[in-house]
Chain A
């Protein structure tokens, strides 16, 4: 190999290894621990010595209706809110990019929800949706609607949870899409304007395809993060009524941190991982196809 290629190699490694090492060191032990524990019964309360049980934990989870219910609930809330977040966030980014009046104000306030701690958002939502002391039901009553059981029936509760998620994370999409929009080369748009192409066609023909890789990335991250929703559910409904609004992470939290049934929780975590990877792979494959179509 030539010396230039050697140098190339060295730089190549210099750039990527720090990141890889840090992630590896922090994530390797949890992975090993979770894997080994998932094949045993490890209970801290009551303290029982660990027993090797093979796939029993996995079988128990995979066979429990509660697990599949949690997947269904989590997927429902996540897909619903991410879809709306993306559409809304993209539209807002476009508006900001084209300098609608008041952009300076929007830029700060639009971003704020994202900067609130999820547990803070959950507590605030609890205040606002409080059936007796909160403004939402007050407004509902004022508009003539009877009191709406936002948090005590399954479907209203899911809507509320999705709504809160949208409220908090649309800024995420807006921020990133705006950065993407600002990074687009201006010449293409100049040319299109000169050719008198309509704004609609400009968007679908130029903007959207060029931002497709970024969109795919943003949606993917939102999906992955969204699947881990727990704070709002914990504070607003506790997972109830029954287990109607119980999400996967809440299920894992109760098993792992309240019952300290670590073996079961580890098995649950791995199954969760598989579920999300399945969803993720399907999503990425579909996204690939869409990208190719628009390219």
Chain B
């Protein structure tokens, strides 16, 4: 019993220390947003009303649009983030479930065939024909995919990759440094725009890209959460001849709720804060908050009060989200076995 208490004490001290460390920068941002320029340029000041007289000027400037339009990006960020997160978590959880319950076998040969046909085919089309990029891409995809699937069905030699490799493939999409990918996607979207399907600076374009971003997280994380869901409940339901889809929606998902919530928050955080693709793929209509935030780092000088206001505005919706979802994670309430 005493051991429990001393452990709880250590836990408490740790939490308090971390609270201090985590909260201090946020506190600093909060007070700096209210500082007049002199309270910054003459040295650090810590307590409003004591060290300096707080002012709302920075907020007024921000909402007057002096440092870039705020309202547009806020709406854009909210709409794009929520949609992409919902889509990627849902589709990703489905894929994760499949990876946990079913067995996939993909022959290396068919994978290589897909790669060769798609890449090689595209290069050949590019060099020898005048076919525009989107058409060429579509053509090779439509050719390579069925061929690879057909090959997979044949009994061919060579190693066979399983579920773990499929998962690894998902996650490996996150490894590639975003620089060239961003440029390439811009190119692709620009070309699509030229053949009549505008994807640049559109809601649809951003959602597709961000869903593809969130999927690796969703698959990788949900696979572990779903694997802790006990099999017996599902088997019982299957005996009763309930369809897989219903089992998934009505039994498995509710049981994995803590994991779902955690994953959703993670994906939301990533999409909300993504910068590079948003920069390249949006122009005036769908510019998101991170671009605005980066824009406060102007060549004119670090105007810390402006940066703080922008940071506060960017994080405000996230505070709401984390409060709501955090409450849903109350310990013990949603844990494991629902008999």
Direct contact of A and B (CB under 8 A): yes
| Contact surface of A with B, Cβ cutoff 8 Å | 7-8, 11-12, 14-16, 18-20, 22-37, 88, 91-92, 94-103, 105-120, 123-128, 132-135, 138, 167, 170-172, 175-176, 178-186, 198-199, 213-214, 217, 220-221, 224-225, 227-228, 231, 235, 248-249, 252-253, 256-257, 262, 265-266, 268-269, 272-273, 276-277, 280
Q: Is B70 an interface residue (CB 8 A)?
A: no
Q: Which residue on chain A has the smallest CB distance to residue B322? A: A111
C-alpha gap A265/B40 in the complex (Å) = 40
Q: Indicate if the CB atoms of B293 and A117 lie closer than 8 Å.
A: yes
Q: Indicate if the CB atoms of A256 and B184 lie closer than 8 Å.
A: no
Query: Distance in Å from the Cβ of A224 to the closest Cβ of chain B?
Result: 5
Query: Distance in Å from the Cβ of B279 to the closest Cβ of chain A?
Result: 10
> A135: which of B46, B122, B225, B248 is its contact (CB, 8 Å)?
B46
Q: Indicate if the CB atoms of B26 and A117 lie closer than 8 Å.
A: no
13 contacts between A and B (CB under 8 A): A15-B97, A18-B94, A102-B16, A118-B273, A127-B28, A138-B44, A175-B265, A183-B335, A198-B3, A220-B171, A249-B178, A273-B176, A276-B175
Interface centre among A103, A127, A179 (most CB of B within 10 A): A179
Range class of the B interface residue count: 35 or more
Q: Which residues of B contact A37 (CB under 8 A)?
A: 180
A182 and B258 in contact (CB under 8 A), knowing A111-B322, A117-B272?
yes
A199 and B179 in contact (CB under 8 A), knowing A11-B244, A184-B336?
no
C-alpha gap A109/B265 in the complex (Å) = 14
Q: Which residues of A contact B245 (CB under 8 A)?
A: 11, 14
C-alpha gap A172/B270 in the complex (Å) = 11
A23 and B170 in contact (CB under 8 A), knowing A117-B273, A183-B259, A256-B180?
yes
Extra inter-chain contacts (5) besides given A124-B308, A249-B178, CB under 8 Å = A33-B180, A35-B119, A117-B314, A128-B28, A273-B176
Q: Indicate if the CB atoms of A29 and B188 lie closer than 8 Å.
A: yes
Q: Indicate if the CB atoms of A176 and B266 lie closer than 8 Å.
A: yes
C-alpha gap A55/B273 in the complex (Å) = 36
A20 and B95 in contact (CB under 8 A), knowing A117-B290, A217-B221?
yes
Q: Indicate if the CB atoms of B12 and A217 lie closer than 8 Å.
A: no
Pick the 9 closest A-B CB pairs, nearest first.
A95-B11, A15-B98, A115-B318, A26-B212, A30-B184, A19-B95, A117-B273, A179-B262, A33-B184
Q: Indicate if the CB atoms of B41 and A133 lie closer than 8 Å.
A: yes
Q: Which residue on chain A has the smallest CB distance to residue B244? A: A11
Q: Indicate if the CB atoms of A25 and B141 lie closer than 8 Å.
A: yes
Q: Is B25 an interface residue (CB 8 A)?
A: yes
Q: Indicate if the CB atoms of A217 and B336 lie closer than 8 Å.
A: no
Query: Distance in Å from the Cβ of A196 to the closest Cβ of chain B?
Result: 11
Q: Which of B29-61 contact A (CB under 8 A)?
A: 29, 32, 40-41, 43-44, 46
Q: Indicate if the CB atoms of B94 and A15 lie closer than 8 Å.
A: yes
Q: Which residue on chain B has the smallest CB distance to residue A125? A: B25
> B95: which of A16, A109, A116, A181 is its contact (CB, 8 Å)?
A16
A108 and B14 in contact (CB under 8 A), knowing A15-B95, A120-B314, A184-B335?
no
> B261: which of A102, A179, A253 is its contact (CB, 8 Å)?
A179
Q: Indicate if the CB atoms of A213 and B224 lie closer than 8 Å.
A: yes
C-alpha gap A103/B217 in the complex (Å) = 27
A-B contact count (CB 8 A): 326
Q: Which residues of B contact A182 (CB under 8 A)?
A: 258, 329, 331-332, 334-336
Q: Indicate if the CB atoms of B91 and A98 lie closer than 8 Å.
A: no
Q: Indicate if the CB atoms of A117 and B289 lie closer than 8 Å.
A: yes
Q: Which residues of B contact A178 (CB under 8 A)?
A: 258, 262, 329, 331
> A120: which of B175, B266, B311 is its contact (CB, 8 Å)?
B311
Q: Is B302 an interface residue (CB 8 A)?
A: yes
Query: Distance in Å from the Cβ of B242 to the closest Cβ of chain A?
Result: 12
Q: Which residues of B contact A138 (CB under 8 A)?
A: 43-44
Q: Which residue on chain B has the smallest CB distance to residue A137? A: B44
Query: Distance in Å from the Cβ of A280 to the closest Cβ of chain B?
Result: 7
Q: Which residues of B contact A96 (CB under 8 A)?
A: 15, 331
Query: Distance in Å from the Cβ of A273 to the closest Cβ of chain B?
Result: 5
Q: Which residue on chain B has the smallest CB distance to residue A166? A: B21
C-alpha gap A31/B174 in the complex (Å) = 13
Q: Indicate if the CB atoms of B19 and A127 lie closer than 8 Å.
A: no
C-alpha gap A228/B174 in the complex (Å) = 10
Q: Which residues of A contact B92 (CB under 8 A)?
A: 19
C-alpha gap A262/B207 in the complex (Å) = 26
Query: Distance in Å from the Cβ of B34 to the closest Cβ of chain A?
Result: 14
Q: Which residues of A contact B273 (CB under 8 A)?
A: 115-118, 120
Q: Is B123 an interface residue (CB 8 A)?
A: yes
Q: Indicate if the CB atoms of A179 and B15 lie closer than 8 Å.
A: no
> B326: which of A20, A111, A249, A272 is its contact (CB, 8 Å)?
A111
Q: Render B177-205 as a binary contact track against A, CB cut-off 8 A, 1 for contact.
A: 11111011101100000000000000000
Query: Distance in Å from the Cβ of A268 to the closest Cβ of chain B?
Result: 8
Q: Which of B298-339 contact A (CB under 8 A)?
A: 302, 304, 307-308, 310-311, 314-315, 318-319, 321-323, 326-327, 329, 331-332, 334-337
Q: Render B125-159 as a binary contact track against A, CB cut-off 8 A, 1 for contact.
A: 01000000100010001000000000000000000
C-alpha gap A273/B175 in the complex (Å) = 6
Q: Which residues of B contact A170 (CB under 8 A)?
A: 18
Q: Indicate if the CB atoms of B208 and A22 lie closer than 8 Å.
A: yes
Q: Render B1-15 as a binary contact track against A, CB cut-off 8 A, 1 for contact.
A: 001100110011011
Q: Indicate if the CB atoms of B177 and A272 lie closer than 8 Å.
A: yes
> B336: which of A116, A185, A225, A228 is its contact (CB, 8 Å)?
A185
